[in-house]
Amino acid sequence: MRQAETVAEDVTVTSRTVAEEPGQSFVLAGYPLGYMTDPTFGTSESSLAMTVSLPSQAAYTFGSNPVVDSAVLVLPYTTGFYGDSTSTYSIDVRQLKSDLSDEAPTSFKTNKSFAYNSATPGYTDGVFGNYTGVLKPNTPLKVTTIVTGKPDTLIAAVAQLRIKLDKAFIQNNIANLSAATLINNATFYNTFKGLHVSINKAKSNGKGGVAFFNFSGASSNLEVYYKRQNATTATNIDTVLASFPILSSTSAPVAATVNHNYTGTDIAKQLSTPTTQYQTTYLQGLAGLRNKISFPYLAGFIKNLGGKVVVNRAELVVDVSSGTDVAPFSPAPRIALYTTDLGTRRVNVLDNLTKLSNGLDNSRVATNFGGYYDPTNKNYTFIVTAMIQDLLDGKTVDYGTYIGLSSPTASAATYLLPPVTSAERSVIGSFGNATNKLKLNIYYTKIN
Q: Could you tell me the sign of the dihedral formed by the alpha carbons of 377, 383, 385, 388, in that order?
A: negative
Residues 186, 96 within the same domain: yes
Nearest C-alpha neighbor of 50 from the set 169, 192, 208? 192
Residues 13, 40 within the same domain: no
Using N-to-C axis directions, what is the helix angle for 298-305 and 385-393, rounded to 10°?
70
CA dihedral 163, 164, 168, 174 (to 10 degrees): 40
Q: Distances from the Cα of 223 to the Cαs of 48, 242, 291, 298, in angstroms?
A: 18, 6, 44, 61
Beta strands in 252-409 (DSSP E): 254-261, 280-284, 289-294, 309-319, 335-340, 346-347, 379-383, 401-405
* 17 lies in some domain: yes
Residues 48, 13 within the same domain: no
> Does residue 439 contact residue 13 with C-beta atoms inside 8 Å?
yes
Nearest C-alpha neighbor of 318 from the set 402, 423, 440, 419? 440
* 1 lies in some domain: no
* 53 lies in some domain: yes
CA dihedral 340, 341, 346, 351 (to 10 degrees): -80
- Read off the DSSP letter of residue 418: P
Residues 128, 196 within the same domain: yes
Confidence of residue 6 (pLDDT cuts 50, 70, 90): confident
Average pLDDT of the segment spanning 241-251:
95
Instruction: Please give the Cα distance from 398 to 404 (Å, whole number).
Output: 17
> Does residue 426 contact residue 323 with C-beta atoms inside 8 Å?
no
CA angle 85, 21, 102 (to 5 degrees): 85
| End position of a domain, from candidates 196, 229, 252 | 252
pLDDT value of residue 363: 58
* 437 lies in some domain: yes
Confidence of residue 362 (pLDDT cuts 50, 70, 90): low
Residues 194, 153 within the same domain: yes
* 424 lies in some domain: yes
Confidence of residue 355 (pLDDT cuts 50, 70, 90): low
246: pLDDT strictly greater than 80:
yes
Bigger pLDDT: 41 or 144?
41
Instruction: Please give the Cα distance from 422 to 271 (Å, whole number).
Output: 22
Residues 172, 302 within the same domain: no
pLDDT value of residue 361: 57
pLDDT value of residue 206: 96
> Does residue 4 contact residue 225 with C-beta atoms inside 8 Å?
no
Flag the least confident range among 90-99, 129-138, 154-163, 279-288.
Answer: 154-163
How many domains, the chain? Answer: 2
Phi, then psi, of 102 in degrees rounded to 5:
-80, -10
Confidence of residue 257 (pLDDT cuts 50, 70, 90): very high
Q: Distances from the Cα of 113 to the Cαs of 21, 24, 40, 124, 288, in angstroms?
A: 16, 13, 25, 21, 16
User: Model-level pTM?
Assistant: 0.93
In three-state secondary structure terms, 369 is coil
Instruction: Please give the Cα distance from 426 to 290 (Å, whole number).
Output: 10
Residues 441, 306 within the same domain: yes
pLDDT value of residue 52: 98
Residues 213, 83 within the same domain: yes
* 258 lies in some domain: no
CA angle 91, 95, 101 (to 5 degrees): 115
| End position of a domain, from candidates 223, 252, 281 | 252
324: pLDDT strictly greater than 70:
yes
* 257 lies in some domain: no
148: pLDDT strictly greater than 80:
no
Residue 130: which domain range?
31-252
Residues 212, 344 within the same domain: no
Confidence of residue 409 (pLDDT cuts 50, 70, 90): confident
Residues 67, 203 within the same domain: yes
What is the overall mean pLDDT for the chain? 93
Flag the least confident range among 165-169, 272-276, 322-326, 409-413.
Answer: 409-413
In three-state secondary structure terms, 296 is coil
Pairing of strands 141-145, 438-446: unpaired
> Percent of the chain having pLDDT more than 70?
95
Residues 198, 284 within the same domain: no
Q: Distances from the Cα of 282 to the Cαs of 9, 289, 342, 401, in angstroms?
A: 23, 7, 25, 15
Residues 241, 364 within the same domain: no
| End position of a domain, from candidates 217, 252, 287 | 252
